Amino acid sequence: MDTLKSIEQQLTEILSNQIASKEVLTLDETALFTGFSKSYLYKLTSAGIIPHSKPLGKNLFFDRAQLQAWLLGKPVKTSADIEAEATSYVTLKKKGGWSCR
């Protein structure tokens, strides 16, 4: 059993390496790349949420760079980022002459 798992892991690594070198991905490759199921990817494409191409009206293709940009499109600020922004805001307001009465 361990040998089978080892072979599966090696195959997954090989597929991941192949995907990393490609610029245009198929639906199956996109599912591996994103970790999303194919059915979820179909929902995202039909709703026009995820960037994709359908050159002949049948097969779906995805640009790897666009996918990466889309996946990282709405970053969530860390507590440290929010605290730094708040400190900067308060500091700038004090210098600008704003005061509480």
**pTM of this prediction exceeds 0.75:** no
pLDDT digits (tens, 9 = 90+) for 77-90: 999 999 999 998 88
Would 58 be classed as within a structural domain? yes
What is the residue type of 56?
L
Pairing outcome for strands 24-26 and 61-63: antiparallel
Question: What range does the domain containing 72 cover?
Answer: 23-95
Residue 21 has a pLDDT of: 81
> Is 45 part of any domain?
yes
Q: What is the pLDDT of residues 47-69, one digit of tens each?
A: 999 999 999 888 999 999 999 99
Specify the number of domains making up the chain.
Answer: 1
> Is 83 within the bounds of a domain?
yes
Q: Does residue 67 belong to any structural domain of this protein? A: yes
